Structure 1
Amino acid sequence: MKRKINIFPILVIILVFFALNAYVLSGFGTFSPSASFAPFFWVFVISLTVALFFAISQMRAHGMSKFFQIITHVFLIMLTAEVVFAFFLLVGDVFGFLLSIPSSFEPQGYQALGRNVYWVDFAFTMFCLTVVLFIFGIIRGKYAYRVIKHTLYFDDLPKSFDGFTITQISDVHAGSFTKPKQVQKGIDLINAQKSDLFVFTGDLVNNAASEIVPYIGHFSQIEAPFGQFSVLGNHDYGDYVKWPSETDKTNNLQQLKAHHAALGFRLLLDEHVELTKDGEKIILAGIENWGLGFGERGDLQRALAGTSATDFKVLLSHDPSHWEAQVKNNPSKIQLALAGHTHGMQFGIEAFGIKWSPVKYRYKHWAGIKSENGRYLNVNRGFGFIGFSGRVGIWPEITVIELKRKV
């Protein structure tokens, strides 16, 4: 029996999309109302939209192609720039309406609707700036690795581990890389931190295990005195592509696990290890992917089996929703959880005291450190990228966490 498609939300999205473009067109028309470029504008919008739907249908049938990437990127850039332009245009229109400026005081440049051409100029400048930022994000931003350092204090950290450092990366998505030399710069930056421990918190590939093969020589260079450890993310299971058979899908996952070993990563699958120093220990646990809406595979209880409530524990769990659901209030205290998954949506603002990304509407905590109940969560913004082949405002991250004992 075929599943019925609810067409109402689709119609709403289409109407909102065309209303947005009509409003943007009215703003462009403020510059030169006499110019008849509206037909060209609509031909471009409709052609781009049709091309997008065609690209999506081709992608579903034959996989991601260069055509799909180009069309989706052009559509995303134009849509985002239009939203920015429409926002500033609306601000000007609302203020113009509320102020109800008498016509005798209108400076030259006001058009129909009482628009000030200088404000429209500003809105258009923001439109152009958005386009430039996205182009920069595609060309340079996606490899603009940065190191973010945190120092966290604990009452119950074993004395021997005071000053212990952990380097974390997440979400490599190797299938998206196109510039090995740029990736190598990220690897060099990881090793330059000289941390005691290295951890990777999932999504090594987009879909297929073979994606990491060209980069095994890069990531296998990562070394830390206490070892390199990893967990799986939602993309690592191959759930987002159609496999010839279930056996092929299973074999792909087994091959990916073998690649973790080739990288020198100890893959933690609902298990833990003890890290010892001067007769004291901390627990490093890792679970399979557990995320609301992305597969709840991981078994935290199994991963912690054999540990005590008083042990100092660090947990690797790909999806931060797991921390909210099972970790922050767990009877067996987990002092530090390390996650990734969100990428900060690869787009947002983190400057001038502002921290915003559209992903905040999906995840309660989507980047950086969160503390609750005397426990910490760090969400890494991701080393790689997927979908949008770039980053704007949310740059690829290498996290360094220093554990300190409260005195």
Structure 2
Amino acid sequence: MALDRRAFLKGLAATVAAGAALPGLAEAATRAGEDPPLQGERRTFTVAGLHPAHDGLRVAQLSDLHVGPRTPPERIRAAIEAANAFRPDLVVLTGDYVCNQRREAGEVREALAGLEAPTVAVLGNHDYWTDPRAVARSLVRLGYDVLENENTTLTLRGEPFTVVGVGDLFTGNARPFAALRGARRGGSRIVLAHGPKTADLLKLSGEPLLCLSGHTHGGQINIPGVTRVLLSALAHEPYDRGLFHVGPVQLYVNRGVGNAAVRVRVNAAPEVTLATLRAA
């Protein structure tokens, strides 16, 4: 179900308000400032049907970079450098490259330049809200492939590897079955989807899939025992961060790099992920 901008901001604002009401959290937010340290996360996933040549394949994931006034440009540049430092076989970008201004779509081209491995992207809700065509155009001009409810096959380590890209669920653009069409069962593949709840639709296929997503920022202001409840109840996002098993689907929710709505992160450090794929 598509949700509008108001519902999204309402959920995030409720999280922020709850955080401000807790003793000591405002002080923690002030200490965190606008530039909390970027963290590299290393995760290993067992992938059904993975070709032996892809056992150990390294996939770097960046999400929610939010080029604009709420994200320090130095953090975005550090994220690009961290992704390259992983020496990945593939880089995937899982949406929300802008915040809410059309000019930011043009700024994406400079801010996100420099990824050295083959790079595949999907769009997020902020991209659709702002100017999806302009955002996609900036990514394509950087040499990055942009998928919307489709898939592409690359040659990695000498064998075909398929990346499935699903449109943004939050804005009503997700067509997961169209995206999977032609991506053969039993082959090496992963799914990219900005919205974590896309996994609820993907599980209906009955296929074992690995889906990499973002969108939640790990709560951005993460209050243990509170933020997850608020995200689920108000923003209808039960998958806040990390790994979930949704039927046969392995879902990984990246905390993202940038900020939205507010400039601060608490207990939700920005993240660049290295996903290592292993054969079942």
Q: 3-state DSSP class of the match of 1:376?
A: strand
Asked if structure 2 preserves the Cα contact closer than 8 Å seen for 1:286 and 1:316, the reply is yes
Q: 3-state DSSP class of the match of 1:174?
A: coil
Where do residues 315-354 of structure 1 align in structure 2 (5 Å cutoff)? 315-324=191-200, 326-331=201-206, 333-349=207-223
The equivalent position to 1:376 in structure 2, one of 238, 241, 250, is 250
Give TM-score scaled by structure 1 length.
0.60
Give the strand-richer structure, 1 or 2.
2
Q: Percent identity?
A: 27
Q: 3-state DSSP class of the match of 1:400?
A: strand
Asked if structure 2 preserves the Cα contact closer than 8 Å seen for 1:207 and 1:237, the reply is no
Counterpart of 2:35, as a letter, is: R
Q: Point out where structure 2 has 5 or more consecutive residues left out of the alignment.
A: 1-5, 7-12
2-side partners of 1:205 and 1:399: how far apart?
20
Where do residues 306-317 of structure 1 align in structure 2 (5 Å cutoff)? 306-317=182-193
Shift of 1:311: 2.8
Give the helix-richer structure, 1 or 2.
1
Partner of 1:236: 127
The equivalent position to 1:303 in structure 2, one of 179, 196, 204, is 179
2-side partners of 1:185 and 1:316: how far apart?
23
Partner of 1:258: 137
Shift of 1:152: 1.3
Counterpart of 1:237, as a letter, is: Y
Q: Any idea what the Cα deviations from partners look like across 1:52-83, whole Å, max 9, x if unmatched?
A: xxxxxxxx9xxxxxxxxxxxx9x9978634x3
Q: 3-state DSSP class of the match of 1:133?
A: helix
Shift of 1:170: 1.0
2-side partners of 1:403 and 1:215: how far apart?
29
Q: Does 1 or 2 have the higher relative contact order (CA < 8 Å, sep 6+)?
A: 2
Size of the aligned set, in residue pairs, is 266
Counterpart of 2:188, as a letter, is: F
Counterpart of 1:235, as a letter, is: H
Q: 3-state DSSP class of the match of 2:40?
A: strand
Q: Any idea what the Cα deviations from partners look like across 1:189-225, whole Å, max 9, x if unmatched?
A: 121111111011111112234214345334111111x
Partner of 2:90: 197
Asked if structure 2 preserves the Cα contact closer than 8 Å seen for 1:187 and 1:218, the reply is no
Asked if structure 2 preserves the Cα contact closer than 8 Å seen for 1:197 and 1:228, the reply is yes
Q: Point out where structure 1 has 5 or more consecutive residues left out of the alignment.
A: 1-59, 61-72, 85-126, 240-251
Counterpart of 2:27, as a letter, is: V
1-side partners of 2:57 and 2:132: how far apart?
33
Asked if structure 1 preserves the Cα contact closer than 8 Å seen for 2:64 and 2:96, the reply is yes
2-side partners of 1:392 and 1:287: how far apart?
30
Asked if structure 2 preserves the Cα contact closer than 8 Å seen for 1:77 and 1:134, the reply is no
Counterpart of 2:205, as a letter, is: N
**Is residue 2:275 matched to residue 1:275?**
no
Counterpart of 2:92, as a letter, is: V
Q: 3-state DSSP class of the match of 1:273?
A: strand
Shift of 1:309: 2.7
The equivalent position to 1:221 in structure 2, one of 114, 137, 161, is 114
**Is residue 2:19 matched to residue 1:80?**
yes
Shift of 1:297: 1.3
Cα-Cα RMSD: 2.7
